[in-house]
Structure 1
Amino acid sequence: MTQSTADFEGAGRSLRAFAANPALRTAFGPPDSSLRTLFGPAARRFVAAATEDEVVDRIATLTGKGYRVSVEAVGEEITDPAEIEAVVTGYISLLRRVPVPVQLGFDLSAVGLLRSAGQTLDNTARILEVAAEHDSAVVISMERAEFVNDILGVFGKLAGHHDNVGITVQAHLHRTADDLPAIAATGAKVRLVKGVYAEPADVALPRGPELDARYLDLAARFADAGTRLALATHDAALLDRARTGGLLGRVDEIEMLHGVQPELLRAHREGGMACRVYLTYGDNWWLHLLHRIAEHPPTVITALADLADPDRVVFGAQY
């Protein structure tokens, strides 16, 4: 039986709802929780490493194959001051250990945004300063629509003082076309995504042809403005349209999350395109796993197979 588009869209909405469910987040939390034990083998496909030591080795593996690498510690929406400081010092430690330039990506809600914009600004600047010492960069992630004004405000202030800061832009948000000129004017790198968060219709487009057309239009507008642009998508058809329309020759790179469509990214790299793998690491992976499956619900079949045979997940093998 062939599944309908409506079925897949409904499955994606359900998975995003699971990700946002406070009871499930709480149940996942303890190190010995049943959710961690049950779904851990599936998470290994998408979360590259549990520790800083492991992720340093993973970075070396992928750079050795000719990929650029981004790195993010999984976790978001942190309010505890000690946890926030641990995230900041963790990134600084990682930057000092990695022997090659990397790009960090993280949510500002992980470095203080839920407490104050000032704290977020100071913490991100601390990371950017160390990153600059190691020829590395930070591309700030984008979060739910309610946070966008604050995120763009912090980004704008940082972009005036740090040339190694960039920003993620969500094509599905209706406001993005209006935000584009100010973002492009900073001269910062832009990472263009479709957008993973479930938003109401008056705020964002759902997945579908209209969003694909908007994504390509925004990419062309950024390219016209001379922006260093990363097309962060796993959509093979969308990338093919970008190629046939001449857009791929005008962007800086293609980026894909680790574990998602590795063969597709490898094909683009072998075709001469600069390609980046976005690695995540850490043990707070519940939201990350559900969002990855929600983006492409058929991936649930892969996840179930990984649960049955964890040894089939071999890091880097498909790249």
Structure 2
Amino acid sequence: MRWFMRPLVTRLPWTPFTLRFAVLLDLAGALMVPPRGTRVARVRGLACGAEWVRGKGVPAGTRTAILYFHGGGFVACGLRTHRRMIARISQAAGMPVLSVAYRMQPRVPIETSIRDCVDAYRWLLGEGYEGRDVVVAGDSAGGYLAFAAPLHALRDGLPRPAGIAALSPFTDLDIEPKIAHANAPLDPFIPAHRMRDMVRVCFPGAALDDPWLCPVHADLGGLPPTLIQAGSIEVLRADAELMAERLGAAGVPCTLQLWEGQAHVFQIFADLSREGLAAIREIGAFARDVTAPEPRSRAA
């Protein structure tokens, strides 16, 4: 990653024209074949693409589900690039995953991306799931949406989901703390200073402390129990730690896991990293725990 990915990201031209071709990366994701036994079914009725992913042995018709938003800097990746990892998460959790290909920048404003994710949650509720049956999850930019979508859903009067699982989430529009972080020269994937371009293109004119666009500045008190995973050497460790701190201050139960020696969204590289597989098992255990039926009281 240090020899190939970081130099590539460093030289990536963040212009509206060139970024329109970033979506083609999802086509290459077809090479990442999901594990044997995975079942995939397209979903209709949303303004964006979506699919059900069921890992091996996960039955159809379960009462619980994970709602997943992929990463990719708000401009790239999609259903194909993340299908293999999502299938593993589904199998670890024992429940299906609704994977959402929200519309991305620069074609649409960030508010549209958030709305696509809220609408996917609303669609699940319309399909008979209750809020307490759904875990919202995502990685990187999708980790941002895993916080932004529930915050906007609560504002719209929708029920609180059962939990949030965020993998290397981007949560703070202010890039300066990431540039100053000790991991800035260590991260083998993300050059911190290039994130200024991402914010400039994807959040044009946004105030860095806008509570509806910057999760670390939002009123977090209504959010459900949260699991945050990050690699110990990635620059977005700064965002993971800050978000965990803000959630704790708001009284939201939060578990922050820092995985030693791991890079950004290392779970997607689980074929090469045993830590990725272990982290996915942790996500599955978290999803099962927060969606478990509440035990009846003795009086009942």
Instruction: Report the TM-score range of the alignment, normalised by the length of the smaller protein.
Output: 0.3 to 0.5
Q: Which has the higher helix share?
A: 1
Query: TM-score of the superposition, structure 2-length normalised?
Result: 0.43
Ranked by relative contact order (alpha carbons within 8 Å, sequence separation 6 or more), the top structure is 1
TM-score of the superposed pair, with normalisation by structure 1: 0.41
